[in-house]
Amino acid sequence: MQKKLPARYNLVAMPLALSFLMTFIVSGISTFNGVGFVAGVVEKWMQAWGLSWIVAFPTMLFVFPLVRRLVGLIVEPPKA
């Protein structure tokens, strides 16, 4: 059986995974939309993605608790 991280790491693991995937997809769409399918587009995409992720991950760490509280104001908690 593969060992998992302890639950306390969820506060970092969730924003890490979400920012990683979101910036990958959004930067790819933006890059292809901006320059098209040209030579070197993948390199441009990876540069854009790296910069996006460097900004997005710390931003998500900062805003995730705020977003969780705001969503809690408008969404009913799950019933036990």
Specify the pLDDT at position 58.
Answer: 96
- Rounded-to-integer distance, Cα 6 and Cα 75, Å: 27
Specify the pLDDT at position 1.
Answer: 80
3: helix, coil or strand? coil
Q: Is residue 28 part of a domain?
A: yes
* Domain span including residue 24: 13-56
The whole-model pTM stands at 0.81
Specify the pLDDT at position 80.
Answer: 79
Query: What is the percent of the chain with per-residue pLDDT over 70, rounded to a whole number?
Result: 100
Specify the pLDDT at position 2.
Answer: 86
How many other β-carbons are positioned within 10 Å of the β-carbon of residue 33? 8
Q: Is residue 33 part of a domain?
A: yes
Q: What parts of the chain have a pLDDT lower than 50?
A: none
Q: Is residue 69 part of a domain?
A: no
The one-letter code for the residue type at 73 is L
Q: Is the distance from CB of 44 to CB of 35 less than 8 angstroms?
A: yes
- Rounded-to-integer distance, Cα 7 and Cα 23, Å: 25
What is the number of domains present in the chain? Answer: 1
Specify the pLDDT at position 7.
Answer: 92
